[in-house]
Amino acid sequence: MDGLGLPKFRLLHAAYVTHDLELGKKRLGEMFGVSEFEVGLGLPVGVPGGIAKIDYAIADCDGTIIEAIQPAGGQDGVYRDALAADPDDIVFHHFASRIETDAEWDALMDSIARNKLEVLVRDSTDNGVDFLYVDTRRWLGHYLEYIYFRDGAPA
């Protein structure tokens, strides 16, 4: 996105929201030819004003992850508000990109501040992973997630 100064984009995963995690897994599995999903339930995610809870399923598609996300409570509007009207449909939600250095993370923070971009999710894990969602819907029609594995390797 020329002019915003966002870091180089390195696709990690594509995420979809669903009313039903099992249906989301089925749809993504059929579309992308995967059958093995890692599932997490009730994951707390830090959002402005509180905590969202999500259920998720991820699968590796030859090095790129696909993810199904079902809102599961709390302040989960960033996910729930994107759900399809038809409960049998899934909806694309965001691409995720990997941040590789402190300088890139700092450049991302500077770009967010300078451009007054809305951050809808911001959290970190106990094992050194920082992540956030930037609202880029005005430019792209979807969110961008940036993930920084501070120790250099995905956890």
- Write out pLDDT tens, residues 66-95: 999 999 999 999 999 999 999 999 999 999
Number of structural domains (the chain) is 1
Dihedral angle sign, alpha carbons of residues 98, 104, 108, 111: negative
The candidate with the shortest Cα–Cα distance to 97, out of 2, 22, 15, 4, is: 15
pTM surpassing 0.75? Answer: yes
Tokens at 121, concatenated = 């999710």
Helix (H, G, I), strand (E, B) or coil at 20: coil
The candidate with the shortest Cα–Cα distance to 82, out of 73, 74, 71, is: 71
Does residue 1 lie within any of the structural domains? no
Does residue 104 lie within any of the structural domains? yes
Other residues' Cβ atoms within 10 Å of the Cβ of residue 70: 24
What is the C-alpha to C-alpha distance for residues 149 and 134, in angstroms, rounded to an integer?
A: 17
End-to-end CA distance of the chain: 28
Domain range for 106 is: 11-149
Q: What pLDDT is attached to residue 94?
A: 97
CATH code of the domain in which 50 resides? 3.10.180.10
Does residue 154 lie within any of the structural domains? no
- Write out pLDDT tens, residues 104-138: 999 999 999 999 999 999 999 888 899 999 999 99
Does residue 131 lie within any of the structural domains? yes
- DSSP string for residues in 85-151: SSTT-EEEEEEEEEE-SHHHHHHHHHHHHHTTPPEEEEEE-TTSEEEEEE--HHHHSSEEEEEEETT
- Write out pLDDT tens, residues 39-62: 999 999 999 889 999 999 999 998
Does residue 137 lie within any of the structural domains? yes
pLDDT higher than threshold 70 for residue 21? yes
Does residue 4 lie within any of the structural domains? no
Does residue 155 lie within any of the structural domains? no
Does residue 127 lie within any of the structural domains? yes
